Amino acid sequence: MYRRRLALAKSLDLTAMVDVVFQLLLFFMLSSSFVTQAAVPVDLPESSHLKASTAGIEITITADDELRLGGASISLEDLRSRLTDLSREGGGVSILGDRGASLGRTIEVWDACRSAGVPVAGIRARWKEGGE
């Protein structure tokens, strides 16, 4: 009696695995969100000692000491009420100050954040060439 031996496939079919990997790649690319900055022109000062800021809310101080929150102009009083709401949510703040902005206005914003109980992650700057 002769038995036929079944020939085992000597190569693996990777088509299904490639399809799944491609679909996962598409899913993560399309579901990810990208960070966008507001279109307010701000000349940030340079610093050779930078730390990454992880704050979700950015308060911008322009060269003429105008306050902007999310790209929209806002008064200091309105900012204080928004910061009070933000403190209930538990978010942090990052301050972007133009090089021409006054130190007094920056301190007013910082003080408003502290009064509302919102942690300030820091003041943003540009990386200075030749820094550490």
Phi and psi torsions of 41, nearest 5°? -70, 115
Q: What is the pLDDT of residues 15-42, one digit of tens each?
A: 899 999 999 999 988 888 766 555 666 6
| pTM of the complete model | 0.56
pLDDT for position 7 = 56
* Domains, the chain, ordered by start: 46-127 (3.30.420)
Decide: 113 and 120 in contact? Cβ < 8 Å. Answer: yes
Q: What is the pLDDT of residues 56-76, one digit of tens each?
A: 788 888 888 899 887 789 999
- Please tell me the distance from the alpha carbon of residue 35 to that of residue 16, in angstroms, as a whole number: 34
CA distances from 53 to 56, 61, 92, 102, 123 (A): 9, 17, 10, 22, 9
Nearest to 114, CA basis, from 71, 89, 84: 84
Is pLDDT above 60 for 54?
A: no
